[in-house]
Structure 1
Amino acid sequence: MCYHISLENKKQVEAMQKPIRSHIPFVPKYHFNGFDKPMIPVLSILDPGTIELFRWRLVPEWVKKESEWKANTLNARNDELFEKSAYRDYWQNRCLVLCTGFFEPHTPGGTTQTHSWYIKPAHGGLFTLGGIFTRWKDLFTFSIITTDAGPHMAAIHNEGERMPLILEGEAAEAWLSPTLTQSRMKELMVPYTDESRLTTYRVMDGVFNARLDTNCAEVLKEHPTGSRLNEGGTLSLF
Structure 2
Amino acid sequence: MCGRFALTATPDQTAALLGLAELEQFPARYNIAPTQPVLMALSGPPRMPGSNLPDRQAMLVRWGLIPAWVKDTGEFPLLFNARSEGAAGKASFKAAMRHRRALVPASGFYEWQQSGNGKKGQPYWIRPRNGGLVAFAGLVETYAEPGGSEMDTGAILTVNANADIAHIHDRSPVVIAPEDFARWLDCRALEPRDVADLLRPAQPDFFEAVPVSDLVNKVANTGPEIQDRGIVGPEPEKVRRQKPGADDSQMTLF
TM beyond 0.5: yes
1:146 corresponds to which of 137, 158, 165 = 158
1:18 corresponds to which of 17, 20, 30 = 20
Following superposition of structure 1 onto structure 2, how do residues 164-203 of structure 1 map, counting pairs within 5 Å?
164-178=173-187, 179-195=189-205, 197-203=206-212
Aligned equivalent of 2:135: 128
More strand by share: 1
Q: 1:27 to 1:143 in 2, by over 3 A?
A: same
Q: 1:53 to 1:133 in 2, by over 3 A?
A: same
Q: Which amino acid aligns with 1:134?
A: E
Q: 1:29 to 1:183 in 2, by over 3 A?
A: same
Aligned equivalent of 2:80: 74
- Following superposition, the deviation at residue 38 of structure 1 comes to 1.1
Q: Residue 51 of structure 1: SS of its match in structure 2?
A: strand
Q: Which amino acid aligns with 1:46?
A: G
CA contact (8 A) 1:2 1:75 kept: yes
Q: Which amino acid aligns with 1:85?
A: A
Q: 1:164 and 1:187 mapped to 2: Cα distance?
A: 15
- Following superposition, the deviation at residue 205 of structure 1 comes to 1.6
Structure 1 residues 219-238: Cα deviation after superposition (integer angstroms, max 9, x where no partner): 1122268xxxxxxxxxxxxx
Q: 1:28 to 1:65 in 2, by over 3 A?
A: farther
CA contact (8 A) 2:9 2:133 kept: no
Structure 1 residues 116-137: Cα deviation after superposition (integer angstroms, max 9, x where no partner): 0111122322110001111112
Aligned residues: 214
- Give structure 2 stretches of 5+ with no counterpart: 46-54, 145-149, 233-254
- Following superposition, the deviation at residue 55 of structure 1 comes to 1.5
Q: Which amino acid aligns with 1:13?
A: T
CA contact (8 A) 2:126 2:210 kept: yes
Structure 1 residues 185-210: Cα deviation after superposition (integer angstroms, max 9, x where no partner): 22111111331x32321111243355
Q: 1:127 and 1:55 mapped to 2: Cα distance?
A: 20
1:91 pairs with 2:92: no
More divergent stretch after superposition (180-189 vs 131-140): 180-189
CA contact (8 A) 1:21 1:52 kept: no
Structure 1 residues 47-101: Cα deviation after superposition (integer angstroms, max 9, x where no partner): 5533221221101112234223x22310000122022211122212100011111
Aligned equivalent of 1:229: none
Root mean square deviation of aligned Cα: 2.6
CA contact (8 A) 1:20 1:51 kept: no
Aligned equivalent of 1:62: 69
CA contact (8 A) 1:21 1:53 kept: no
Q: 1:98 and 1:199 mapped to 2: Cα distance?
A: 18
- Following superposition, the deviation at residue 26 of structure 1 comes to 4.3
1:32 pairs with 2:29: no
Q: 2:141 and 2:31 mapped to 1: Cα distance?
A: 24
> What is the TM-score of this pair, normalised by structure 2?
0.74
Q: 1:56 to 1:113 in 2, by over 3 A?
A: closer
Q: 1:143 and 1:113 mapped to 2: Cα distance?
A: 22
1:219 pairs with 2:226: yes
Identity level (%): 24
